[in-house]
Amino acid sequence: MSTLQEKAIPVGQKATRLVVRRRLTPTVIVYLALVALLVVGSVLVGLRGEVLLDQGGILNILTRATALGLVAIGQTMVILTGSLDLSVAYLVGLTSLIAAETMAGRDGMVVPGVLLALAVAAGVGLVNGLVITVLKANAFIATLGVALILRGYLEDNYTGPAGDVPRGFQHLGYDRIGPVPVAALLMLAAAALAWWYLSRTRPGYHMYAVGGDIEVARLSGVPTRRVIVTAHVLCSVAAGLTGIYLASRLGSGAPYVGTDAGYDLESIAAVVLGGTLLAGGRGGVVGTIGGVLILATLDTIFDDLEVDPFFKDVVRGVVLVTAVALYARRMIANRAPGRLA
């Protein structure tokens, strides 16, 4: 193509810009911010004569990241697919109860308890997915509706913590290797699995495609409905894993363990903080884990500094908006001029 020659210079420029852009993806920014936060936090905590990243500190950060991390991994998948899940918080509570009640203190029931909890979670995810794809309800409303239904079920059937987890199973929640909790490792393993799934497998590719442009995906032969349903099932299963983990940690199931922690909005915040586009199609689990670690680190630093819990909320809100504003600026700067408006 002869005409390409006259474009040779701009293409060159574009290439250098691309390199810069690749270097500073939101994921990279998140981890740079995490490192900066750790440094600043260490200094601030150090000024009080304490150490942020001692064994206890690391343990704290990782423990706090575990449950939110698991939920956020699932949430990443649905958000990447262009959807959203507001039902995870109640689902975490529900699955913790199912696991703990099935186990009822018996060692032999651990596996059935876990499997049943995951099965129920998958079922809820399936409902979410089907309501969105078949009934064509907006994801926000669909999952809000399912959340309300779950809430009704929980309120109607439970009056507080119930069920009992055998001691053997509690090791999942309490064991650690050095300063690293086993559960955090499992969470990271789940993240790795999700990363592999999203960036290496066909269904993962299709999630990006559906989130990027559902029409394009459909015309290209991507089974869009199946992809959305799968994303929701996986998200709910991740919430189910969170419920199981919390059951092991709490020793029983607790109906409001998910909502008290605000896992619905907080997981969305973590995902977006991690650089995933709320509209879908761009981002990934690696960034999400970074986002979760930032939130967990902030929490730990604030605890060490004994900051008023209300102040924490203020900072969380500001951090969230600032981060997303930063990503938005980068996107505009990088966007090729094309469309009129």
Partner 1 sequence: MTWRPRLAEGTAPVLVVLLLLLIGLAVAGPAYDEPSGYLALLKRAAPLMILAIGQYFVIVSGGFDLSVGALVTAGVVIAARLINGSESATARVILLVLAFGLLVGLVNGLITTKLLVPSFIVTLGMLLVLDGAIFLWTGGAPRGALSAGFRTFGRGAVDVPALGEVPWSVLILLGILLAAALFMRGGTGRALVAVGDNEAAVRLSGGQVDRLRLLAFVLSGLLAAVAAILLGGFAGVSAQVGDGLEFRAITAVVLGGVLLGGGRGSVVAAAAGALSLEALFTLLNLLGVSGALESAVQGVIIIAAVAYASLGNGVRQRLRWWPQQRDSARPAQPAAS
Partner 2 sequence: MTKRWALVVAAGVLALAGCSSDLPDDQASAGGSPSSDATKSKFFDQTEYDRQLKFRSATPQGPDGKPWEQMLEPEMVDTAKFAKPGGKYTLCFSNAAVNNPWRQVGFKTMQQEVKLHPEITTFTVLDAEAKDDKQISDIQSLSGKNCSAIIISPNTTATLTPAVEQACQTGVPVIVFDRGVNTSCPVTFIHPIGGFAFGADGAEFLKEKVKPGGKVLALRILPGVDVLEQRWAAANEIFTGSELKVVGVEFTDGDAAKTKSIVADYIQREGRIDGVWMDAGATAVAAAEAFQDAGVDVPAIVGEDQQDFLRLWVDENLTAVAPTYPTYQWRTPIIAALKILKGEQVPKEWVLPQPRITDDKVKDYVKQDMPPLHYAMCGCEGMPGYPVPWK
Partner 3 sequence: MTPRTTTSVRLTGISKSFLGVPVLRGVDLELRGGEVHAVMGENGAGKSTLLKVLAGVHRPDGGTIEVDGAEMSFASPTDAQRAGIAIIHQEFTLLPHRTVAENVYLGREPVRRMQVDRRRMVADTRELLDWLGEDGIDPTDTVSSLSVAQRQVVEIVKALSTDARVLGMDEPTAALADHEVELLYDLVRRLRERGIAILYVSHRMREVFDLSDRITVLKDGQFVTCAPTGELTSEDLVRHMVGRDLGEYYPDRAAPDDLGPVRLSLRGAGNQRLRELNLEVRAGEIVGLAGLQGSGRSAVARAVFGVEPFTRGVLEVDGVARRVTRPRTAVRLGIALVTEDRKGDGLALRQSVRDNTLLVRRAALRGGRSRARSDVPALLDLVTVVARGEHQEVRFLSGGNQQKVVLAKWLAVEPRVLVVDEPTRGIDVGAKRAVHELLRDLARRGVAVLMISSELPELIGMSDRILVMHDGALAGELPASASEGAVMALATGHGIGEAA
Determine the Cα–Cα distance for residues 17 and 48; give it in Å rounded to an integer.
44
Contact stretch for partner 3 (CB under 8 A) within 76-84, 130-138, 169-177, 203-211: 203-211
Least gap, CB of 77 to partner 2 (angstroms): 17
Taking CB under 8 A as the criterion, the residue among 1, 47, 135, 177 binding partner 3 is: 1
Residue 197 three-state SS: helix
Least gap, CB of 307 to partner 2 (angstroms): 9
232 binding partner (options partner 1, partner 3, partner 2, none; Cβ < 5 to 8 Å by kind): none
* 260 contacts partner 1 (rule: CB under 8 A): no
* 137 contacts partner 1 (rule: CB under 8 A): yes
Taking CB under 8 A as the criterion, the residue among 28, 34, 44, 149 binding partner 1 is: 149
What b/e sequence results for 212-225 when a residue is b if at least 16 CB atoms lie within 10 Å of its CB, and e otherwise? bebeebeeeebebb
Least gap, CB of 145 to partner 1 (angstroms): 4
* 151 contacts partner 2 (rule: CB under 8 A): no
C-beta atoms surrounding 15 within 10 Å: 9
**x/- track of binding to partner 3 for residues 34-73 (CB under 8 A):** ----------------------------------------
Task: Pick the closer one to partner 3 by CB: 274 or 281.
Answer: 281
* 23 contacts partner 3 (rule: CB under 8 A): no
Task: Pick the closer one to partner 3 by CB: 23 or 335.
Answer: 335
The residues near 269 (Cβ < 8 Å, ≥ 6 apart) are 291, 295, 316, 320
Nearest to 181 by CA among 57, 56, 62: 62
* 60 contacts partner 2 (rule: CB under 8 A): yes
Determine the Cα–Cα distance for residues 42 and 48; give it in Å rounded to an integer.
10
* 140 contacts partner 1 (rule: CB under 8 A): yes
222 binding partner (options partner 2, partner 3, partner 1, none; Cβ < 5 to 8 Å by kind): partner 3
Restricting to residues 107-136, which ones interact with partner 3 according to CB under 8 A? none
C-beta atoms surrounding 334 within 10 Å: 12
Determine the Cα–Cα distance for residues 341 and 327; give it in Å rounded to an integer.
20
> Phi first, then psi: what are they for 119, rounded to 5°?
-65, -45
Taking CB under 8 A as the criterion, the residue among 68, 103, 117, 142 binding partner 1 is: 142
Taking CB under 8 A as the criterion, the residue among 1, 3, 8, 156 binding partner 1 is: 156
C-beta atoms surrounding 173 within 10 Å: 21
* 221 contacts partner 2 (rule: CB under 8 A): no
Torsion of CA 10, 11, 16, 17, to 10 degrees: 70
Determine the Cα–Cα distance for residues 132 and 110; give it in Å rounded to an integer.
33
Task: Pick the closer one to partner 2 by CB: 64 or 232.
Answer: 64
Residue 252 three-state SS: coil
**x/- track of binding to partner 3 for residues 218-237 (CB under 8 A):** -xxxx---------------
The DSSP line for 70-120 is HHHHHHHHHHHTT---S-HHHHHHHHHHHHHHHHTT-GGGHHHHHHHHHHH
* 23 contacts partner 1 (rule: CB under 8 A): no
Determine the Cα–Cα distance for residues 302 and 298; give it in Å rounded to an integer.
6
Contacts with partner 3, residue ranges (CB under 8 A): 1, 3-4, 7, 14, 18, 196, 200-202, 204-206, 208-209, 212-213, 215-217, 219-222, 281-282, 335-337, 339-341
Contacts with partner 1, residue ranges (CB under 8 A): 131, 135-138, 140-142, 144-153, 155-156, 265, 268-269, 272, 278-279, 308, 310-318, 320-321, 324-325, 328-329, 331-332, 339-341
